[in-house]
Amino acid sequence: MRQKVIFQDLGRISYAEAWERQTVLHRELIDRKTAYRQSGHVGIPPTPPVHTLLFCEHPPVYTLGKSGSMDHLLLPEAALQEQGFEFFKINRGGDITYHGPGQIVGYPIFDLEYFFTDVHRYVRSLEEAIIRTIAEYGLQGVRQEGYTGVWLEAEGARPMRKIGAIGVHLSRWVTLHGFAFNVQTDLSHFGHIIPCGIQAEDKGVTSLSMETGLPADMAAVKEKVKTHFSEVFDFDYVN
């Protein structure tokens, strides 16, 4: 059975508000299964829930995953505030990353027991949606062994470059957090951190507009990501 997903574009929204929205939706899906099992049933409710996919952009913010190191934030707290950056320690996997204007941040709140119960496959599927999207712009996204995210191969003096980052958290197979896709992001803001804790000189960050040399139409890119997401996960959008 194809799953049903509500899509919401939250526009530009603070990280704290988006996190709160995710948390509410996440808890609703977990509570639904818990109530079913507490009533004496085994497994999951036979009628699937309606899952949610949130897109948004954030004002400049750095987030540190539960396995990350504060040493990878290169700005002191006072400088963060002076330059208008927020900072949050959060419960996703991974290290430190940046979110800001010109970046599509996606938060799937899915109960994977209705899709597939495989964390590795889930992360690869998030990557695949971005890989298919950038292919429409003539870019070949790749995966790098030992790292998550979507990368572009090194060429000439340019190192491998990450264009899409992944950071997720699952509780009882319900997903939280998701991906960040650099479309026309201010890449200089990554200079205040060691992105994802990766200190290798042969790896950097990039954006769609940087690679194509053209301004990106955010609305058009979002539509492409949205379409590829439904193809990869094999679901239908509902109102």
| pLDDT at 83 (0 to 100) | 86
Beta-carbon contacts of residue 96 (< 8 Å; ≥ 6 apart): 62, 63, 64, 65, 68, 69, 72, 73, 193, 194, 195, 196, 197
Closest listed residue to residue 43, CA positions, set 129, 138, 111, 145: 111
pLDDT surpassing 80 at residue 199: no
| pLDDT at 200 (0 to 100) | 66
| Six-digit token string for 131 | 């890989």
> Are the C-beta atoms of 99 and 180 separated by less than 8 Å?
yes
**What is the count of structural domains for the chain?**
1
- Residue positions annotated with a catalytic role: 196
pLDDT class of 88 with cuts at 50, 70, 90: confident
Element (H, E) at 6: strand 3-12
CATH number at 138 reads 3.30.930.10
pLDDT class of 113 with cuts at 50, 70, 90: very high
What rounded mean pLDDT belongs to the chain?
93
> What is the span of the domain harbouring residue 175?
3-238
Closest listed residue to residue 62, CA positions, set 39, 42, 41, 81: 81
